[in-house]
Amino acid sequence: MEIIKCIEKSGIIKKYDILAFEIFKGGFFIKIRALLNDDSELYIREYSDVVERNYSYHWQDSDRQLLMRWDNAGHHRHIETYPHHVHNSNDILPSYHISCKEILKDIEEKISIEKKR
């Protein structure tokens, strides 16, 4: 499965647990909790079938405070990338990165910047 391959190839994930996993005709549902190298956590939820894909990548610090969340919930119609958007603190911003690989790259860059401070 592509999402698991993405996680396993990532250099920023220490370990991960699959919390739920269902395969059905034409699709799947998966929930994953990943512990990152900086001790932050990433919660991934993804549902995909032949008609739709719903996802949420919720990244939080070790104190469980939201750092960012990428998702495509059907609200925030004013965002130019609707329904794809990212929550960053109190802001809701357009999100052009919607795949596991792109989101993990974003997180890796942000962790790298934080380490340099």
Entry pTM: 0.93
Sheet strands side by side (includes 91-94)? 13-24, 27-36, 41-48, 53-60, 66-71, 85-88, 91-94
| pLDDT by position in tens, the chain (length 117) | 799 999 999 999 999 999 999 999 999 999 999 999 999 999 999 999 999 999 999 999 999 999 999 999 998 999 999 999 999 978 999 999 999 999 999 999 999 887 776
| Domain regions of the chain by residue span | 2-116
Burial status of residue 42 (CB atoms within 10 A of its CB: 0-12, 13-18, 19 or more): buried
What's the rounded Cα separation, in Å, for the pair 96 and 31? 22
State residue 91 phi and psi, 5-degree precision. Answer: -95, 150
The DSSP letter of residue 113 is H
